[in-house]
Each structure stands twice: as structure tokens, then as C-alpha cells.
Amino acid sequence: MKQSLLKNGLYNTAAGIIRIGLALLTIPVLIRLLGVEEYGLWTLAMTVIVIVTLAESGLSLATTMFVSQDLERNDVAGLSQTLTITGGAMLVLSVLAGAFLWAFAPQIVGGFAKLQLFQQVIAIEALKLGAIVVWARLIQQVLVGVEQACQRYDLTNGITTIQAFALNIGMLIVVFTGGKTLALMQWQICVAVGGLLCHCWINWWLLKKFPLHINWNPQRGVEIFRYSMMSWLTAMGGVLFAQMDKVIVGSALGTTELGIYAAITNVTNQINVLSALPVQPMMPALSALAASEFDPNQAEERVKQAYLVNSFFALGIGCVLLTVAPFLLKLLLGNEPSATVLLSFRIAVLAYSLYSVNAVGFYLCLGLNAARTCMTIQVGGSILALGLIWMGTERLGLLGAMLGNLGFAVTWLMNVYGCRLLKIPGLKWLQWLGVPLVVTVTIFGVGIIDGDPIVKLSLMSGLSIGLFGWYVFHQFATLKSLYTKLQYSFSNKVN
């Protein structure tokens, strides 16, 4: 288990770094070529598409969990039942979701009172094109679930990385040649359909050795439905927080302020994405173990390692972004950031860094059949954060919206519950991460106080380097083991 988690975590992390790097390089160029207002319109269209993909209804996670259990038991009949139910349900849902977006695009756009008439026309056409993107992305999710259940994170990440290259490079070409929101959406369609075809081929290759057939089992259908609904509500909580905040800001402040908000949160959201990738393989691994035997006495050290890896990316990246905030914002927005924008960015970095430490608890809950608890915490956190963002936007504008993001840190409760499922004291993870959390908050405090910029930069840089050293010290054995495995793998390939 340890080796496969390490290997799959490496695949996820490496691919995630590449995709995030591409996004960070692309966003500033898009903003400069499109302008903040047009970029805000593009962000609004893509936000609606992401929200509509909530029709996925947890079937991707259900596919990963049930297929991994079927493979562990070598249950071909059960595998046929799982794929019949999840695949058939997703085909229906993808068609319905795409049709909904196409039919109700005018009504959806009409809800944004700040849009000018010509912007509304463009947004409606973009959403109608986006219906195809929704259809392709939804079907792809079940296929990805199968790949993860088969522990082929290398293939999944290979395809998604190629998609990221194609998407970002294509978007730059589109914008350089004068294309705007509609042309960008057309390119989204090309990439989404191409990725879907690739995942179809990978699934056929992985499953061709099994004599699969259509096999409907009502009892299995009820089990998958229950788990899917809990997973769906959990995912909805995360997507609501990650996307509905832009809807709130866009409705209250207009596309220009939304463009700035989206540029900042698109960067800070990468903290959450990247920090979750190394620990994501925990879920199918735990699901497979739950189907056989699981010794809770051996869990604590593995979970501690997972928390250290998760927090290394969540808090480590956060500290770096807090340190280089003025330079990064100037690069991102193309001009010297105002004091309000700089403070807003630092608050967003702190909020995303802190709440991203929930990844281990999230996957522990899902992998150990505690989807209902996970859903309750996730949705509750989203509602709290969105309420704070709405109130903050109304009273303090952009700065208030960023402060509201701190409310999602309530999802730390997943860490407490997930640890208890493995008979680990609920707050033990806080002891493991005490030093990184204190250092992160300290760097934030140094950044927002008045003082000599050189002195502040030196102090923040020193703290960041010290935190990196702390992680290396505590993970030295793991790093040494990883180096040995990579060296052995490389020598085998050469020979």
C-alpha cells in the first residue's frame, strides 16, 4: 500500500505542478490581451459551466470506490453491475445537463444585472457552446474513476497533462489571433471532446481482459445511489465555495472587480489543487482495504506522513506566495497593485492555505464510508463561507469578499472526524502541524504590517526557508526511501 500511494502521489503531484505552472503562465497573458473586463466575462461563463457539471452527482467517486472493491474481490459480475449503473447514469445525466444549459442560457445570464447588453449576448452564446463541454466533461469523470480504481494514475495524469498543454497553448493562440470569449469556448469544446476520446480508449485497454456485460442489479444500484448522493453533496459544497463566490462578486461588483477577484483566486486555488494531489490515492486504497482487512494500529504513522506531505504543499506554497506577493501581483495584473489589492491577495493566500490542510481528512472520510459526515461538513463550510463573502462584498467590496473566504477553514472538522475513524485522537494532526501553522500565520502578519520592504522580505524569506528545512528534517527517511526507489527504477530501465 505504501509504495503504491507514494508512486501515485508522485504522478498526481508532478502532473499537477505542470498544469498549475501552465495556468499561472497563461492567466497574466490572457488578462493583458483580453483586458480585465473581457477576462471577467470569460470567467463568468466558465464558472457557470463548472457549476452545471455538478450534475455529475458523485458518480465519479462512486465509480472509484465500488470498482476498486470489485477488483480487490476479483468480482467480475460486480464490476459489470457497477459499470452498468455508473456508466448508464452518467450518460443520461450528461445529456440532461447539457440540454439544461443550452435551453436556459438566457435565463441564467439574465440573473447578472451588471452585464451590459452586448455582454449578455456573448455570454448566452458562450453558454450554449458550453453545453458540449459539460457533456464531454461529465462522461469523462466516470472514465477517470475507473482509471483511478485500477491504480493507473500515470495514465490519467498523462492525459490530463496533455489536455492542459493543448488547452492553455490553444487559448493563447486564440487570443493572439484576436479571438475572445466565444472563440475560447470553441477551443474548450475541442479539448474536452479530444480528452474524452482518449479516456475511452484507456478504459477499453484496462478492462478488455474482463468479460464485462450489461448487468443491472437493483440492490447494487441503491448502494451506489446512496454513496453517490453523499459524494455529490460533498462535491457540491466544494464547488459552491470555489465557483459561487465569483457569481456573488460578479453580481455585486461587476466584471472589472470580478476580473481582479478571479485572477487572485485562480492563483490561490492552485494551493488547494496541488496540496490535495499527493494524498488523493488514499481514497481507492482505503476503499480496497475496507473491503478486506484494515489494521487501525498501523494507520497513525501513514496518516502523519500524509498530513506532512499535504501541509508541505498547502502551507509551504502559501508562505512563498505571501513572501513574493507584490512581485507576483505586478506580473499577474500588469501594473503596481494597490494596497487594497495586495492585502486582498494576502488574505486569499492565507484562507486557501489554511483550509487546504483538510485534504487528508476529506479522503479519510470518503475512503472509510463516512461520506455523509464529509458532506455535512463540506456543505456547511461552503454555506458559511459564501454567506461571509456576500456580507463582506456588500460592506467592504473586494477586501470583504476575500475575508469571507476564511470561513471555509471550518472544514478542518473533517480532519478531526477522519482521524477518529482510524482510532487516532481527533486533534493529533494539529500537534503534527503546529510549527508550520505558526510560521504561516507569522509570515502573513509580517506582510501586512508597516515597515521597511527589504527588512520584511528578508524576514519572510528566512521564515519560509526555515519551514522548508523543518519539513526536510521530519521527512528525511521518506525522502531517502523515495530517492532509493527512483534510483532503482531508473537503473532497471537503463539496463
Residues 6+ apart with CB under 8 A from 386: 240, 241, 244, 245, 248, 404
- Asked whether residue 197 carries a pLDDT value surpassing 90, the answer given is yes
**The CA-based dihedral angle spanning residues 126, 127, 131, 133, taken in that order and rounded to the nearest 10 degrees:** 60
Q: What is the mean pLDDT of residues 59-69?
A: 85
Q: What is the mean pLDDT of residues 182-201?
A: 94
pLDDT of residue 283: 56
Alpha carbons within 13 angstroms on the beta-carbon side of residue 143 total 23
Name the average pLDDT for the chain.
Answer: 83
Q: What is the 3-state secondary structure (H, E, C) of 427-455?
A: CHHHHHCHHHHHHHHHHHHHHHCCCCHHH
Q: Please give the pLDDT value at position 262.
A: 84
pLDDT surpassing 50 at residue 492: no
Please give the pLDDT value at position 493: 39
> How many Å apart are CA 490 and CA 413, to the nearest integer?
41
- Cα–Cα distances (Å) from 408 to 52, 63, 244, 350, 440, in that order, read 22, 27, 13, 11, 17
- Go through 254-273 and write b for each residue having 16 or more CB atoms within 10 A of its CB, e for each that does not: bbebbbbbbbbbbbbbbbbb
Asked whether residue 173 carries a pLDDT value surpassing 80, the answer given is yes
Copy the grid coordinates of residue 373: 459526515
Q: Mean of the pLDDT values across residues 21-43?
A: 84
With b for 16 or more beta-carbon neighbours within 10 A and e for fewer, the 221-250 pattern comes to bebbbebbbbbbbbbbbbbbbbbbbbbbbb
